[in-house]
Amino acid sequence: MRVLYFSDNTSDHNRRFLEKLSEVGLEVWFLDPTSDHPALNWLPDGVRWVRTGQKVRRDGEPAAFAEFLPEFRDRLKEIRPALVHAGPTHSSGYVTALSKFHPWLLTSWGSDVLYQSEQGPQWKQATQLALSSADAFFCDCDAVRAKAQQLVDVPDDSIVQLPWGIRKGSFTPDGARPAELEFAHEPGTKVLISTRSWEPLYGIGVLLEAFRQAYKTDASLRLLLLGNGSHVTQVREFISAHGLAGAIRMPGHVCRKDMPSWFRSADVYVSCAQSDGTSVSLLEAMATGLPVVVTDLPSNREWVDDGQSGWLAPANSAEQFANRFLRATRLNPDQRNLVALRNQRIVEERADWDRNFPRLLKMYELLTAMPARR
């Protein structure tokens, strides 16, 4: 089967999908009009990169992506796929809907349906058009499914739902830790780790203020702030203004293969995101045995039992997050071990990527056998 996988980024998430599709023997083409070329060694073996003449800004409005439609139709004629797998909804999904190609499967990235669909009329219309046009819809949690069906009458039999999970054994409490992370090994310190982008959607300002408040109460706290984002200047200015340079480390971009060791260097995982589907970084942290402090969102409540596997805090409340940071870092060894075992079991039972992925492949088969399901 020839599949055109159409998205607007070269993230680790997309690479995992492409890698899995290639592993099962599909002929896969990857199209991303926001990138000139993939990073070195990013494209999985067997996957073909589709070069485009026109480039689109990833953070552009739906109308900007619609301008890519003529070239997208040209690529469809050249590649002649049996199936198009496209997402997010307002970008690649929207263009695929406009092309009138069938059959195709729409993938939600969580926040595209939950958050961006409410940014304005054109965002909502683009999302609704993608949902109503797609022959099937793939989502990762109940919250996204419910929102999609609120926007459009998406039949249950055209929905495939499974978490963007992790491979069994890829994240564990045991193993190496980054040798260069000296402050995480200072006697008596307790390390919080965040792996989310430095963007308003992911609550970077709330995270920093919450850490400042918690650190004021407990100076043994440390924060590992991985990654980067458009608010890098604001992040650095906040750290400098509040004298937190000795308590916060910013190692920059971390390779995917090194992520398990960074999680092992922490005591608590934190995320202040304002909107989320099933967060892969949350699952990675839980598989590593970390207690978690995350925003009280429907998608997070599907994984986190407040006070048992971690803590939930109201969105945008730095004070409440700070309170949860302190609770999580004050667990005694027996309590930490109980949380670790509980979180590892949850991920093992529900988020095994290899075990869940065949459900998506089954939908592929249904779509190509019935090209006009809807």
Is there a domain that residue 12 lies in? Answer: yes
Residues 130 and 228 in one domain: no
Sign of CA dihedral 281, 287, 293, 296: positive
Mean pLDDT of the residues in the chain: 93
Is there a domain that residue 260 lies in? Answer: yes
Radius of gyration of the chain (CA): 21
- The pLDDT value recorded for residue 184 is 60
Q: Say yes or no to pLDDT of 182 above 70.
A: no
Q: Say yes or no to pLDDT of 374 above 50.
A: no
Residue 255 exposure: Cα atoms within 13 Å on the Cβ side: 7
Residues 144 and 188 in one domain: no
Number of domains in the chain: 2
Is there a domain that residue 65 lies in? Answer: yes
- The pLDDT value recorded for residue 48 is 97
CB–CB of 149/335 below 8 Å? no
Q: What is the CATH number of the domain that holds 87?
A: 3.40.50.2000
Residue 294, beta-bridge partner list: 271, 312
Residues 193 and 320 in one domain: yes
Residues 298 and 243 in one domain: yes
Q: Say yes or no to pLDDT of 180 above 70.
A: no
Residues 155 and 7 in one domain: yes
Q: Say yes or no to pLDDT of 82 above 70.
A: yes
User: For the CA atoms of 103, 363, 275, 99, what is the dihedral angle to 10 degrees?
Assistant: 0
Cis amide leading into 371 (omega within 30)? no
- The pLDDT value recorded for residue 258 is 87
Report pLDDT digits (tens) over 105-132. Answer: 999 999 999 999 999 999 999 999 999 9
- The pLDDT value recorded for residue 39 is 83
- The pLDDT value recorded for residue 373 is 45
Report pLDDT digits (tens) over 311-367. Answer: 999 999 999 999 999 999 999 999 999 999 999 999 999 999 999 999 999 999 999
Q: Say yes or no to pLDDT of 41 above 70.
A: yes
Q: Say yes or no to pLDDT of 24 above 50.
A: yes
Q: Say yes or no to pLDDT of 181 above 70.
A: no
Q: Say yes or no to pLDDT of 242 above 70.
A: yes
- The fraction of the chain above a pLDDT of 90, given in percent, is 85
